[in-house]
């Protein structure tokens, strides 16, 4: 009578030394009684092939947790920081500062602003872009089209005078990705003009069928950008990338990064918010955009219960991201074995927590999302329907039976109702959740 696949159990210290003998021994321990196996055979088979990938993820979690711990210790995080504040937030006892300091150290930045007042990732990215750009400047998206919700921010899609960058006289161009889905290096260098003030690099795939960028690729792009135009600032949309590697974009020269706390760095428990991190001058400019020029970073209240979740969520984030990455390996393995195109490919090193699967028809996309919703802990009795969502041009379907509304660090999936009808899966506080959900999905597509 044995328990789950070896990939699930806590590894003894010797896994760090990964000997073949250990691998063989652990594999031989994998046996289930068919009647009490929680997983369908496709999932069991996939798990048996993912030992090495799961071990590598645990090693990544250990490295990133170590960095987080050091930053918490350097910021002298204490329980008094969880008290929060009210009103203007002037009478804060250092929690805001300690959180910003720890976050900045973790991502290798000079400064950071981590706040509940950011509505979302889109809002944080917008504050960062408006920090850099002034009338007459140009924004250049160097990794193809940016995420859907940025279209109205940029003015690529009509914003009806709501104050897009275009409304303020900021020009925009984009460099399409190369055929292999990576950055087009030649096109990038020739696209940079003297008035290109900001290069936008999106680390994760968004709703595009493209591969996500590694931090090293981002670093190479930054080096080139600065070589061809030293005045061009680089902003990285870091959504879904945090803690997926051992380094973050500020460590390779990004001037600013921005993201959401209901994605990776909130560790599944932060209830709202976002962050901007990078060079001090520009973080302050983004803070002025979030609040008002002159108010700076030292105001804005956040209730105590939320402050505690920010610290605790950030501490948990490397582990939660690790579980989400294991989920992507499992989804890719199982769905590819059923003949679906997957991005990234099975067992390829991950650069974000998103696993895309091309389902090829609207019906299958809806059926996939319905199965995920039915298997969720919250709202399992509801049926997700596609509809219009603020910021998105296409109708989108979301399966998010999550404790935090719209959280994509919890197990969730979504997709725009357009060709090639791909579903984008992410999150999960333990990989076994995806193991169970896939059983339900496979019954219906
Ligand atoms: C790459 C990327 N950037 C930005 C966003 C926008 O984040 P939010 O939904 O928090 O506004 C998303 C959302 O999924 C995304 O995938």
Q: How far apart are CA 380 and CA 399, in angstroms?
A: 10
Q: What is the mean pLDDT of the chain?
A: 92
Specify the residue with its C-alpha closest to ligand 1, atom 16.
Answer: 206
Convert the pLDDT of each residue in 324-372 to its tens digit: 999 999 999 999 999 999 999 999 999 999 999 999 999 999 999 999 9
Q: pLDDT value at position 32?
A: 56
Q: pLDDT value at position 54?
A: 98
Question: What percent of the chain is predicted at pLDDT more than 90?
Answer: 86
Q: How far apart are CA 278 and CA 104, in angstroms?
A: 7
Domain-located, residue 33: no
* Final residue of a structural domain among 279, 299, 314: 314
Q: Is the distance from CB of 414 to CB of 392 less than 8 angstroms?
A: no
Convert the pLDDT of each residue in 218-265 to its tens digit: 999 999 999 999 999 999 999 999 999 999 999 999 999 999 999 999
The verdict on 324 and 308 lying in the same domain is: no
The verdict on 293 and 307 lying in the same domain is: yes
The alpha carbon of 122 and the centre of ligand 1 are apart by a number of angstroms equal to: 6
The verdict on 159 and 267 lying in the same domain is: yes
Query: How many alpha carbons fall within 13 Å on the CB side of residue 379?
Result: 18
pLDDT at 397 over 60: yes
Number of domain units in the chain: 2
The verdict on 227 and 261 lying in the same domain is: yes
Q: Residue 395 sits in a domain of what CATH number?
A: 3.90.1150.60
* Final residue of a structural domain among 286, 314, 342: 314
The verdict on 354 and 395 lying in the same domain is: yes
The alpha carbon of 423 and the centre of ligand 1 are apart by a number of angstroms equal to: 15
The verdict on 209 and 98 lying in the same domain is: yes
The verdict on 163 and 260 lying in the same domain is: yes
Q: pLDDT value at position 31?
A: 54
Domain encompassing residue 308: 90-314
- Cβ burial, residue 251 (10 Å; 0-12/13-18/19+): middle
pLDDT greater at residue 21 or residue 273? 273
Convert the pLDDT of each residue in 58-109 to its tens digit: 999 999 999 999 999 999 999 999 999 999 998 889 999 999 999 999 999 9
Q: Residue 127 sits in a domain of what CATH number?
A: 3.40.640.10
Pair of tokens at residue 383: 């049926």
Domain-located, residue 29: no
Q: Is the distance from CB of 99 to CB of 310 less than 8 angstroms?
A: yes
Token look-up 């509304």 returns 405
The verdict on 301 and 325 lying in the same domain is: no
Domain-located, residue 30: no
The verdict on 334 and 203 lying in the same domain is: no
Specify the residue with its C-alpha closest to ligand 1, atom 10.
Answer: 121
* Final residue of a structural domain among 314, 345, 363: 314
- Confidence band of 17 (pLDDT split at 50, 70, 90): very low
Domain-located, residue 179: yes
Q: pTM score, two decimals?
A: 0.92
Q: Which residue from 22, 46, 102 is spatially nearest to 69, judged by alpha carbons?
A: 102
Q: pLDDT value at position 19?
A: 39
Q: pLDDT value at position 91?
A: 83
Pocket of ligand 1 (CB under 6 A): 120-122, 147, 149, 202, 204, 206, 237, 239-240, 260
The verdict on 341 and 308 lying in the same domain is: no
């Amino acid at each position: 009578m044995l328990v789950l696949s070896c990939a699930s159990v806590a590894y003894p210290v010797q896994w760090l030394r990964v000997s073949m003998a250990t691998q063989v021994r652990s594999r031989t321990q994998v046996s289930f009684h068919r009647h009490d196996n929680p997983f369908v055979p496709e999932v069991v088979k996939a798990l048996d092939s993912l030992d090495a990938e799961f071990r590598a993820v645990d090693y990544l979690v250990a490295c990133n947790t170590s960095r987080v711990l050091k930053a918490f210790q350097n910021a002298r995080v204490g329980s008094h920081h969880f008290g929060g504040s009210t009103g203007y937030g002037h009478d804060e006892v250092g929690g805001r500062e300690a959180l910003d300091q720890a976050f900045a150290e973790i991502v290798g930045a000079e400064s950071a602003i981590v706040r509940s007042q950011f509505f979302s990732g889109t809002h944080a990215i917008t504050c960062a872009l408006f920090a850099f750009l002034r009338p007459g400047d140009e924004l250049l998206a160097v990794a193809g089209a940016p995420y859907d919700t940025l279209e109205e921010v940029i003015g690529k899609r009509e914003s009806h005078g709501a104050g897009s960058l275009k409304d303020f006289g900021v020009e925009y161009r984009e460099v399409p990705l190369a055929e292999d889905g990576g950055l087009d290096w030649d096109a990038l260098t020739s696209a940079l003009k003297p008035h290109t003030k900001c290069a936008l690099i999106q680390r994760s795939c968004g709703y595009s069928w493209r591969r996500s960028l590694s931090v090293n690729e981002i670093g190479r792009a930054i080096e080139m950008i600065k070589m061809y135009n030293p005045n061009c600032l680089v902003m990285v949309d870091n959504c879904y990338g945090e803690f997926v590697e051992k380094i973050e974009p500020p460590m390779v020269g990004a001037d600013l990064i921005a993201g959401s706390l209901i994605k990776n760095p909130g560790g599944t428990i932060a209830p709202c918010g976002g962050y901007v991190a990078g060079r001090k001058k520009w973080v302050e400019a983004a803070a002025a955009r979030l609040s008002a020029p002159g108010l700076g970073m030292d105001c804005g209240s956040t209730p105590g219960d939320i402050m505690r979740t920010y610290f605790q969520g950030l501490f948990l984030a490397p582990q939660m991201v690790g579980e989400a990455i294991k989920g992507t390996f499992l989804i890719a393995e199982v769905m590819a074995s059923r003949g679906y195109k997957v991005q990234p490919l099975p067992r390829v090193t991950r650069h974000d927590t998103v696993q895309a699967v091309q389902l090829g028809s609207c019906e299958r996309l809806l059926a996939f999302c319905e199965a995920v919703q039915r298997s969720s802990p919250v709202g399992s009795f509801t049926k997700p329907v596609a509809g219009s969502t603020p910021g998105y041009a296409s109708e989108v379907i979301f399966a998010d039976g999550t404790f935090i509304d719209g959280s994509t660090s919890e197990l969730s999936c979504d997709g725009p109702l357009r060709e090639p009808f791909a579903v984008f899966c992410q999150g999960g506080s333990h990989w076994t959740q995806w193991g169970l959900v896939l059983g339900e999905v496979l019954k219906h597509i």
